Amino acid sequence: MAFRGASFLLFVNWLCIVIWLSSSFESTDATIIVLATNDTYIDRTAAFGPRIPEEGLLLNLIAVETLDPLEETTACRPVEGAPKNVSWVALVERGGRCNFVDKVRNMQASGAQAVIVGDNQRNPLITMYAREDTSDILIPSVFITQNHYRELRYFSIDLGKDYLVQMNPDEIDWPVLDVIIFIILSPAIVVLLLFFVWKLRMRQQRLADLAPAEVVNNLPVKVFFKSKVKDNDPVECVICLEDYVDEDELRVLPCRHEYHVACIDNWLTNRKKFCPICKRDICAPTETTPLLGSSSRSPVLEHENNNGATSSTSSSSSASPSSANNSAAGTLNGSDEVAILVDTDDTNAQAESSSSPTPTANSNPSSSNTASEAHVVDRV
């Protein structure tokens, strides 16, 4: 579904780019600015001939009918009497017995630096095309509407040859080759962008599936001994498939599964943060996490330390029954079941020893006589 959605978005994006560029290319609207009145007229560049340079053209506007003996406005033939030392643009009218290319050729032969063709009807702007070879066309040409043509014609005839106009190119007037190259490369650019976004998301997801090194290092470690292995204890690392040997360091996960330290550390930090056996997340908080976070010792080592504390408690409990009871109570608060059993047995032993009969005064005559003698001395 994700791939289909990305493909659909790619197609829509490419289609929008093609439509926008096509419309921009076909409607390459330039401008003509009349310097005397500061009026701006919209024109459309022809599909043949050179483009208007970026810096524009500053030319004298001359209506072709002022140079033609028959006062024809269509420029279907070259004219004579054009200014020789002045850069000028010919203003001609659409129609007659010639096409757009012929008009531009005739004005080029007459010495014009550009041609403005005005419409003879109330039509929108069109793009002037040519069906023949136009490699001989060396001057730019533009097309304007009928209303704009009439205004420019009036100003040209009224003001004469000193009527200056500024012909500016359109900002998005791109060559055909540039448009074609951009249309072809735009899908590749979009695909490359989607690929980088996908790689970034995959990297973020991969980092989210790894365990931080600090968390892994805080997991408890125990030393393996075959003599302490019970019936259900594993004797093989499921990652490297090698048997445990004495003094191997094993990492104990929160789920109580054990692995070689090097094997499980590499697994958790470079592949997944889950236990390879039960798939439990080692980074997930549990109820025992605060209790385990204060100590990184192995539960096996803690059990041995608790047994040592039990033996010391048993030896101290032989001194008096009260101290034995206190030791049993303290061990109960520590929640160590083994220590509770041992201390309870010691307490029972002390209770039995305390319940045995103690020697009375009659059982030791010598001590009684000594006491009597002491009383006699005091009286004397």
The full set of domains in the chain, from first to last, is 29-173 (3.50.30.30), 213-297 (3.30.40.10), 300-355 (no CATH)
Q: According to the model, what pLDDT value does residue 142 have?
A: 96
Per-residue burial over 123-132, b if 16 or more Cβ lie within 10 Å, else e, is eeeeebebee
Q: Give the single-character DSSP code of 220.
A: -
What does the pLDDT average to over 126-148?
94
- What would the two tokens of residue 104 be? 């531009």
Q: How far apart are CA 201 and CA 207, in angstroms?
A: 10
- The burial of 66, by beta-carbon neighbours within 10 Å (0-12 exposed, 13-18 middle, 19 or more buried), is given as middle
Q: According to the model, what pLDDT value does residue 87 have?
A: 92
Nearest to 116 by CA among 163, 159, 148: 148
Q: How far apart are CA 53 and CA 177, in angstroms?
A: 18
What does the pLDDT average to over 284-299?
49
What does the pLDDT average to over 152-171?
80
Q: According to the model, what pLDDT value does residue 311 have?
A: 40
- Identify whether the C-beta of residue 37 lies closer than 8 Å to the C-beta of residue 166: no
Say how many Å lie between the first and final Cα of the chain, rounded.
117
- What would the two tokens of residue 14 be? 């490419």
- What would the two tokens of residue 339 be? 């220590």
Helix (H) or strand (E) run with residue 350 in it? helix 337-355
- Identify whether the C-beta of residue 316 lies closer than 8 Å to the C-beta of residue 331: no
Q: According to the model, what pLDDT value does residue 359 have?
A: 42
pLDDT at 36 over 80: yes
Q: According to the model, what pLDDT value does residue 286 have?
A: 58
Lowest mean pLDDT among 142-156, 299-313, 330-344: 330-344
pLDDT at 132 over 70: yes
Count each helix (H run) and each strand (E run) in the chain, helices first: 11, 10
Q: How far apart are CA 42 and CA 37, in angstroms?
A: 15
Residue appearing with tokens 């014609």: 153
Q: According to the model, what pLDDT value does residue 364 have?
A: 43
What does the pLDDT average to over 77-91?
89
Lowest mean pLDDT among 51-55, 326-330, 365-369, 375-379: 375-379
Q: Give the single-character DSSP code of 91.
A: E
- What would the two tokens of residue 123 be? 């039509």
Q: Quickly list DSSP for 27-42.
A: T-EEEEEETTTTEEEE
Q: Residue 142 pairs with which residues in a beta bridge?
A: 45, 116
Q: Rounded to two decimals, what is the model's pTM?
A: 0.45
Spatial neighbors of 234 by CB under 8 A, at least 6 apart, are: 244, 257, 258
